[in-house]
Amino acid sequence: MDADEALLADWRDRALAVEAEVARAVVGQAGVLRLVTTAVFARGHVLLQGDVGVGKTTLLRAFARVLGGAFERTEGTIDLMPNDLIYYTYIGADGRPAVDPGPLVRHGEDLAIFFFNEINRARPQVHALLLRVMAERSVAAFNREVRFPHLLVFADRNRLEREETFEISTAARDRFMMEIAVEPPAGEAERASLVFDARFHDTDRLVGALRAGVVDHRALEEVGAAVQRHVQASDALRRYALDLWRATATPSAFGVRLGDLDDAQLLLAGASPRGMSMLLRAARVTAWLAGRSYLVPEDVRAVFAPVVAHRLALQPVHELRRPELVPALVDGILAQVAAP
């Protein structure tokens, strides 16, 4: 057993323990928990999709506690400016102006999860700062470079209210490894628990009851890199992934059609090279969590929609139909592209 195998055999059990511990606070969301766990160990940022009150903040607070790192959240507003994430000013008790660190830099290197709620309510200038943080895990503040070596950014968009919103660009969406839908649980037992079990009515107590620091979040970069080195892809699997990539740009070449729309009428662009790299990163983590050191098509298919769908750029005339067209296109690609 080489060094990576020894490390990963132990860490796989820890990863599953993280997921199981978070599940004590977030019920009826097994698929969401697995995708977030995958993103955590693939070291990828995440867009969350879901209506208000479905538990997105609770989900992320729970992951931060179990990972043992700091959690911060900010709300997107029309008047939010980039510097508001870095510092805020106020009049102290002595009547003098004072400056304190903002939510992004308050915890320094210990920041594990930063949640940007309603990102489309913030101005593009704020998006630009966040993109730098996501890409470089650093920001200039207080005449020094503040680094976030263990940070993952999560963001969600307000889908219901469109007044005073700034939709994030295609290039910005491409920085996020996944877009994960968080819906209310479907099971009656889980729904009844959320409504009638008082344990779920106090979020602070609910999250505080979880076991803190099940893993050391400062080790996740090393573990994630070991997973990528350890899980192998066969030549057939590589060809399959490349066919999926081509199908995102020219679906009709693989027999995928949506009504009478041809590729040029429907799509501006398919998945990017970055997106396909992230697809394979997520697929390798999926294989590792399943106890395998090699990829199978099911690993790629399991994360294809969350990783690729938000990257598909439709012609502007079809953007309003994105919730209808993109899932159909993704399903068609998975159905038509032959798997080894």
In angstroms, rounded to a whole number, what is the distance separating the alpha carbons of residues 225 and 281? Answer: 10
Residue 248: the pLDDT is 96
What whole-number distance in Å separates Cα of residue 130 and Cα of residue 118? Answer: 13
User: What's the confidence (pLDDT) of residue 162?
Assistant: 63
Q: What is the pLDDT of residues 154-175, one digit of tens each?
A: 999 877 666 567 888 888 899 9
DSSP calls for 205-250: HHHHTSPTTSS-GGGHHHHHHHHHHHSB--HHHHHHHHHHHHHHH-
User: What average pLDDT does this structure show over 291-295?
Assistant: 95
pTM score over 0.85:
yes
In whole angstroms, what is the distance from residue 177 CA to residue 274 CA?
Answer: 9
In the chain, what percentage of residues exceed pLDDT 90? 73
Q: What is the rounded CA–CA span in Å between residue 82 and residue 78?
A: 12
- Both tokens of 148, joined, read 């976030």
- Average pLDDT value for the chain: 92
Q: Is 168 in a helix, a strand, or coil?
A: coil
Cβ proximity of 44 and 113 under 8 Å: no
Mean pLDDT of 99-122: 92
Name the DSSP class of 43: T
For 22-40, the pLDDT digits (tens) are: 999 999 999 999 999 999 9
Q: What residue spans define the domains of the chain?
A: 3-218, 231-336
Q: Which long-range contacts (CB under 8 A, 24 or more apart) does 299-302 make?
A: 300/237, 300/240, 300/241, 300/244, 301/334, 301/339
Residue 245 clears pLDDT 80, i.e. is over it? yes
The model's pLDDT over 171-226, given as tens digits with 9 standing for 90+, comes to: 889 999 999 999 988 889 889 988 998 898 999 999 999 999 999 999 999 999 99
Same fold, 3-218 and 231-336: no
Residue 66 confidence (pLDDT) above 70: yes
Q: Does domain 231-336 have CATH number 3.10.180.10?
A: no
Taking alpha carbons only, the member of 307, 297, 288, 302 closest to residue 229 is 288
Chain-centroid distance, C-alpha 78: 24
Is the pLDDT assigned to residue 240 strictly greater than 90? yes
Superfamily of domain 3-218: P-loop containing nucleotide triphosphate hydrolases (3.40.50.300)
Q: What does the pLDDT look like over 303-331, one tens digit per residue?
A: 999 999 999 999 999 988 899 999 999 99
